[in-house]
Structure 1
Amino acid sequence: MDIKQLRALLAVAETGSVTRAAEALHIVQPAVSRQLKLLEEDVGSALFERGRYGMELTEAGEILVEHARRALLELDRARAEIQPSDAQISGVVTIGLLSSTADLLAEPLLNEVKIRHPAVSLRISVGYAGHLRDWLESGEIDAALLYNPKATPTIQAQPLLDERLCVVGPPSSTLRPNRPRALADLASWPMILPSAPHGIRNLLEQACPGTGTKLNVVLETNAMSVQKQLVVRGHGFTILPSIAVIDDVARKQLRAAPLSDPELQRTIVLALPNTRRIAMAVKAVCSILVLEMKRAVERGDWPTARWIAE
């Protein structure tokens, strides 16, 4: 098993075609077929089967693709870091952003990285806190924004800001930003929420017993876009940080009111792994991310957020 074989595997998996994979790798088609054959002989199992839509991964192929992506990413990182000490910062950096923060942070982060560290290749992964934590621990991302986690043997966490949550409803609702609502008020409302163990759901599960509230959850979804779309169309209400709906409220597609319960706020932290070395490029991009978050709070672009980092 070698790098050429793994790159051929990923190219066919991503394109669904040996021909298109050969074009992407700038080699001839028989060479790709040869690499796949050698790889299958090495692992002792078929990696692809022909389906209606081209080359489809077998179960063995899916397992190998998952590990191959991580292995090649680590090699790309190592190659970028092996350079003279006086060279400019370079490398591949993958940052995990919470779904609610991506629209606010992705573009300014990219712009500033381009200006300060043009040799850095930035990748942004977006997801719920539970997904981001899993990706961080598995090595798929280098750093992430998470909710409320404490430092653990595998993760170091730097608290950055506190933010209040709000209840979000359709345009026809009576929610108002100057009229806070208590969690107990929502007991009979149809709620559309993420499933456990994702951040906001965990906060709600912890807060509900203390207020004697049992929420009426009519749908669980781990896509924030689906949450908001269903609320817009009148299927229920949801609970989100204000930053996630600021534009929707401004366009009058949604209405929102802050939650008055003091425990219903999230602390966003910058999380880094304790189990592997932090590359210079990762440290540089994280510094820019923290700076852009602080600037957003100071400009007032992040409503209800309070900066707490020293």
Structure 2
Amino acid sequence: MNVRPLDTVPIIALRALPVIRETGSMTRAAMALGVSQPAISRAIAALEDKSGVVVTRRMGGQIRLTAEGERLAELGRREALLRQDAWEDVTALKRKKAGALRIGSIGASASTRLLPQLLGRYQSRCPEIRLAVREIPETAMAEALKTGVVDVAITLAQDDPSLEQLPLTDDHLVALMPDDRVWPERLTPQDLATLPFVMTKGGSEPLVRAWFALAGVTPDIRHEAQQITSLLALVRAGLGAAIIADLAAPEHHPGLLKVPLDPPAPREIVLARLAGGPASEALSAFWELI
């Protein structure tokens, strides 16, 4: 049997990379994982030797991951999630609980507007089911379903025959602008290209970039924000315009205006699971509820 390079790498190296990404320190990663700092250093060195790529670099007194390190950190994060899920499932069986359901969410659109009502209905029918909601980038959701990181996902409609999809709702992108002036009734890519821009790093980013690209326009990106609260604060402070999903915007947004886009940028939100894959009782009950 052929052995792939990563098969011989100490698993502690993969577990350490996500922690190094968060803390910028091998020492803190070692403390979080309960091992010595030299053990982490040796494991990272072994990983780099086996993979043939550099996964960390020192910048400004901190340890940062290279692009290759980021990809392997994602592998380590998934390994940790699967390990946690396996332990919790065994614990649930020991306590004679009915099971668990791991639900993927593409971000604020699903987590704040769609999931609360769905989960409330589901828990009233299946109170014994343990629920875990995980926010995962849209570009990684299909793989999360295929690798078992999540059992079911609220995500954007995809042209992927390996996924079974049920339509949930329609959504669209909107411009988010400070309310310190009167804006056109609809904003074009050309309008927004003349302004400083705050790019969302959430699930809508690929759609936002595609909307500009379709018009042959490049936005003047001055800031980036992962969290919706950070993005709102940047726009409210007059540091740039932004585009987000309408469902992701809070119901009350003082100091800000939502302005439609021209051309429109619709998106369909669906519930997805692996087609033909094994379905637990917890998953089947959730799917039937929808």
- TM class, shorter-length: 0.5 to 0.7
Partner of 1:235: 239
Task: Spell out, residue by residue over 1:171-216, the C-alpha distance to the aligned partner (whole angstroms, 9 max, x if none).
Answer: 21324xxx7415367255426344897234334534x3xxxxx545
- How far off its partner does 1:89 sit? 3.4
Alignment-mate amino acid for residue 186 of structure 2:
R
Kindly report which structure 2 residues correspond to 1:1-310, keeping only aligned pairs within 5 A, or say none: 10=15, 16=28, 21=33, 67=75, 70-71=78-79, 73-74=81-82, 80=89, 89-109=98-118, 111-115=120-124, 116-127=126-137, 129-150=138-159, 152-175=160-183, 180-181=185-186, 183=188, 186=191, 189-190=194-195, 192=197, 193-194=199-200, 198-206=206-214, 208=215, 214-215=216-217, 217-219=219-221, 221=224, 223=226, 225=228, 226-247=230-251, 250-259=252-261, 261=263, 263-274=264-275, 276-285=277-286, 290=290
SS of aligned partner of 1:160: strand
The sequence identity of aligned pairs, in percent, is: 18
- How far off its partner does 1:21 sit? 4.8
Cα distance between partner residues in 2 of 1:18 and 1:114: 38
CA contact (8 A) 1:77 1:92 kept: no
CA contact (8 A) 1:12 1:21 kept: no
Alignment-mate amino acid for residue 223 of structure 1:
Q
CA contact (8 A) 1:171 1:255 kept: yes
- CA distance 1:217–1:77, shift in 2 (3 Å): same
CA contact (8 A) 1:92 1:120 kept: yes
CA contact (8 A) 1:81 1:279 kept: no
- CA distance 1:275–1:219, shift in 2 (3 Å): farther
Task: Spell out, residue by residue over 1:73-93, the C-alpha distance to the aligned partner (whole angstroms, 9 max, x if none).
Answer: 556656739999xx7631251
Q: Structure 1 residues 102-111 or 89-98, which shifts more?
A: 102-111
SS of aligned partner of 2:267: strand
- CA distance 1:101–1:12, shift in 2 (3 Å): closer
Cα distance between partner residues in 2 of 1:21 and 1:181: 51
- CA distance 1:274–1:191, shift in 2 (3 Å): farther
CA contact (8 A) 1:190 1:235 kept: no
- CA distance 1:174–1:123, shift in 2 (3 Å): same
- CA distance 1:131–1:277, shift in 2 (3 Å): same
- CA distance 1:83–1:135, shift in 2 (3 Å): closer
SS of aligned partner of 2:106: strand
Cα distance between partner residues in 2 of 1:19 and 1:224: 27
Cα distance between partner residues in 2 of 1:60 and 1:166: 34
Partner of 1:302: none
CA contact (8 A) 2:153 2:273 kept: yes
- CA distance 1:198–1:219, shift in 2 (3 Å): same
- How far off its partner does 1:234 sit? 1.4
- How far off its partner does 1:219 sit? 0.8
Structure 2 portions without partners, runs of 5+ = 1-9, 20-26, 51-55
Cα distance between partner residues in 2 of 1:105 and 1:123: 12
Task: Spell out, residue by residue over 1:269-302, the C-alpha distance to the aligned partner (whole angstroms, 9 max, x if none).
Answer: 22223485343323434556x5xxxxxxxxxxxx
Cα distance between partner residues in 1 of 2:282 and 2:127: 8
Q: Mark the structure with the bigger radius of gyration.
A: 1
Cα distance between partner residues in 2 of 1:61 and 1:251: 38
Alignment-mate amino acid for residue 122 of structure 1:
A
> CA-atom RMSD, angstroms?
5.1
CA contact (8 A) 1:143 1:271 kept: yes
